[in-house]
Structure 1
Amino acid sequence: MANDPDDTREHGIEFGALTGDLEEESYPLSHETLLSRYGDRELGLIGEQVTLREVLSSEHEREYEDAESVRQAVFNMVGDGAIGREDYSDRGGSAPDEGDSNETESF
């Protein structure tokens, strides 16, 4: 199945129309310019909306080389808001719980 071109959610973050705008932007782009153009754009996290400015508020004097570098900065700074259920994976199998041991119990 092909990726849905209207799907703008990556790693639990809904970028919305910002995805296309970042792809069409001219780079390199300073942090100040990025926020002046797109800082009020909202990103959708699990159960809340935050602005790009809120997410990247602690980034300073950075230059973005392309749209991917902006997305990576968001992924690094967004925190637990985009995770959803902690310790959940949709990749199949199960992760061992803390306290599980590899020893086999004998009866």
Structure 2
Amino acid sequence: MGACPPARLGRFYGRAHFFVSPSRFESFGMALQEAVGFGLPLLALRGGNVAAHIREGVNGLLFDAAEALAEATLSWLAHPRRMAPYREAAETLRPIGSPSWEAAARHLLAALQGGAG
């Protein structure tokens, strides 16, 4: 989809029932973070920073194989009730606002300093 104004992005996420990330690697996972912010349950391939956004079995599911991700996606589309517990959990885990760039920088600095010891 590329760059998108925040208001338009909000409309996209607001109409979604869940979010699928077929990427095999995410350095941060901005789209995943946005989906979490909108209270969407997540289906994603395992890898990179994806697991930081998903409490597996709570607000979403992680998969090792693309075929399994595709099967889960089709299952949730065909049987929305299977997604319901994940959606309820995703709503409760929805953050109040987003972290500031300053907070993100402090978190990164703490992680880097912890790894240097």
Report the TM range for the smaller structure's normalisation: under 0.3
Structure with more contact order per residue of length (Cα contacts < 8 Å, sep ≥ 6): 1
TM-score by length of 2: 0.25
TM-score by length of 1: 0.27
Larger Rg: 1
Higher-strand-fraction structure: 1
Higher-helix-fraction structure: 2
